[in-house]
A and B are shown apart, each in its own frame.
Chain A
C-alpha cells in the first residue's frame, strides 16, 4: 500500500469514526436533557419515548420553587470564592516557589501530593472541626475544604507559569525600590493573567461538581447542586423530570466555560505537562 493510499484511507475513515464517537459521547447528555421535558408517562414507557410530545418547563418551575435557585447560587458562591482564594493564596506561594525556590524541589511535590488525599479518610475529623467552629452547613466550611483541594493544584500550575516569565522585569523593579510583595502584585501577577484564567477554570470545575464533602457538610442552608439533585432520588419516588432539569442547570455553565476556555483546558488537565 503506497503512502498516498494510506493517507487517503486515514482521511476517509476520520469522519465516520468522529461521528460514531460523537454519538456515543453525546447521547447520554442528550437523553438526560430530553428527560427534563418528558411527562412521567413518557420517561416510564416501554418502548422508550425519545422525543417529548408535550414539552413544558414544569420541572424547571418546580426546581425553582423548591430551592433550586438557592442551590445554584450556593454552588456559584462556593465555587467562585474557592477559586478566587485558591488563586490568591496559591499564586503567592507559587511565586515564592518559582522565584525564591523556597523549600527547594521537594516542597512543590509535597504540596501537589495533597491534591490526591482521599475524601473518605478525612471526613469525620472535618465534621468535628466544623462543628467546633459552628460552621456546619455554611458556605465557608465548603470553601475551606475545596480550598485545601484546589490549593495544591493552583500552586503547582501557577509555579509553572511564573517560571516561564523572565525574571529581569521584576529584578529591575526591585532595584528601583519596589517591595517583593509589590513586585509580585504589580508586575508578576499581571504577566501570568492567562495562567490565572486557566488555573481558575479548573478550580471552579472541581468545586462545582464535588459531591462527597458537600453531602456530608450541608443540611439546608448551603446545599449545592450535586446534593440538591440527589434529594430527588427518594426512597419512594424518583423524580426524573426534576433530576433532568437540575442536570441541565448544573451542566450548561460548565459547557459554556469549557467551550470558551478550550485553549486553556489542555494545560490545566495535564498539570502543565502539555503547554
Chain B
C-alpha cells in the first residue's frame, strides 16, 4: 500500500515540476486566476538567486521543507535555507531577533497562540496586499473556516499568517476491543449502558476503567500525555466543553471555578486508569504504547492516525517509529467533551524585518497552496495535518488506507467544533501557569489549591500587562467563534 502511495506522490511531484517548467502564460497575470502555486512560482522567478531563511521545528518536522525546498529552488531559482529550532525556541528566537534589530529570518512558523505577542511587537508583515496580488481568492476560501478565522490567521482583521497545520485532538480507539461481544456484555452488566466509542468524558472514563480493570498490565484503557510543557492542552478543550471560562467581565481569572476544579480532579482520577508512570508520558510514550497494542484509547495529535494504519512505515525518516501492531483496528472520534482542543498548529508568517519579504511570501503561498500542501500533508513522515477543504475531500488522501476517509472526516468534524488555546499577549505565560497547576496536581497537590495558585498567577500577569489592554485583546480574540468558550460552537454562516 505505502509503496504504491510513494509512486503516486512521486508522479505528482514530477508533474508539478513539469508544469512549472512549462510556465503557462495565464499564470503571469494579476490578480491570480489559476492555481496559487503556479502564480507564486511565476511571480517568484524575478527573485531568482536570493536566499530565504525559513524557520521550522527541528527534527522530523523539518524533513518536509527540506524535501520541498529543492523543488521550489528548481522552479524559481530561490534558495530556501531551513533553520531548525526546538519548539519553544520557535517562539523566543525570532522574537529575540526582532527585539535586537531583526533580519535573521524571512519566513517563520508560529503557533496561533503566539500571534498577538508577535503582532504587538511589530514583528510580522501584514500579508493582505500580497494575498490580493498573488493568491487566487478561491484558494483562501479553501482553508477550513476554523483555520482562517480571526485570532488564527488574522489579528484585528489583518492577515499575518497562512495556516499550515490542522492540529486538533482526536480520540483513537481499538475497534476490535470495542466491538468484542464479551467486552460489550461485561461492560453493559457493570455500567448499565452499551459500550460505545466514547463521545463524553464519562463514557471515556468508564471504558478506560473497564479495560484497565480487565486487561492490565497487558493493556490499559487509556493513555494521554501528561508531561510538563504540553499537559495544558488536554485541559483547555474539556474546560470549554464543560462551560468553563478563562476570565470574568473584569478580566479576573476564573480557571479555578468549580468547573475547573472538578475537571482537574477528574484528570487526576484518569491517571489511575492509565499506565503507571503516565505523569511523565509525552507523545513518544503514547505513540509506542499505542502502536504496540498496549492501550485501548489515546487522545492526541493527528499524525498517530496515519502511522498506526501503517501508512508510510517504510519511509526512512520514520525509522524511529515503532512498527504498528494495530493496523486495521483503529477507529476515530473527536476528543470527548464536545470541544476538542485545537492544540498548537502553525501559521507560516513573514517577518517585518525581512529583506526578501515578497520572495518569502511567495514561498509560503506556494507551500500552503492546495496542490502543494496536499502533497505535503500526505508525505508519510509529515507532521503537518490536513487543514484545507480540498485535503479532506481529496480522493487520493481518502484512499490512502482503508479507514482514511473516516480519519479525515473525524479531523474535520473535530476541527470545526474545536477550542483554541488562549492567544492574547502573554499567552505562553498564562498557559504555563495552567501547565504547572496540572503537573503539581498530578504530583499530589490539591486540585483546588493548584488552580487557585494558577489563577493568582493569571491575575498577576494581567495586572502587569495592563487590565485594560488585556481586556481589549481578549475581546478581540473572542471574535473568533472557535476561541469562545462554551459547550458548542456557533459556526458563522457565509
A interface vs B, CB < 8 Å? Answer: 39-41, 44, 58, 62, 67, 127-128, 131-132, 136-137, 215-216, 219-220, 230-242
Contact = CB atoms under 8 A, between A and B. Distances in A.
B58 A40 contact: no
**6 smallest beta-carbon distances between A and B, as pairs:** A231-B58, A44-B288, A131-B100, A235-B87, A220-B83, A236-B283
A233 B284 CA distance: 10
A244 B285 CA distance: 17
A231 B86 contact: yes
B319 interface: yes
Contacts of A230: 86
B129 interface: no
Contacts of A62: 319
A235 B60 CA distance: 11
B96 interface: yes
Contact of A44 (B100, B229, B230, B322): B322
Interface of B: 57-61, 81, 83-89, 93, 96-97, 100-101, 104, 229-230, 282-285, 287-289, 292, 301, 303, 319-323, 344, 383
A40 B84 contact: no
Contacts of B89: 215
Nearest to B288: A44
B284 A237 contact: yes
A220 B90 CA distance: 13
Contacts of A128: 100
A224 to B, nearest CB: 14
Nearest to A42: B322
B87 to A, nearest CB: 4
Contacts, number: 82
A234 B59 contact: yes
Residue from B58, B85, B287, B383 having most chain A Cβ neighbours under 10 A: B58
B322 A237 contact: no
Contacts of A216: 96
A67 B81 CA distance: 13
Contacts of B61: 234, 236
Contacts of A131: 97, 100-101
B100 A238 contact: no
B59 A237 contact: yes
B284 A238 contact: yes
Contacts of B86: 230-231, 233-234
B285 A219 contact: no
Nearest to B57: A234
Contacts of A41: 288, 292, 322-323
A236 B104 contact: no
Contacts of B292: 41
B230 A235 contact: yes
Given A41-B323, A44-B322, A234-B61, A127 B229 contact: no
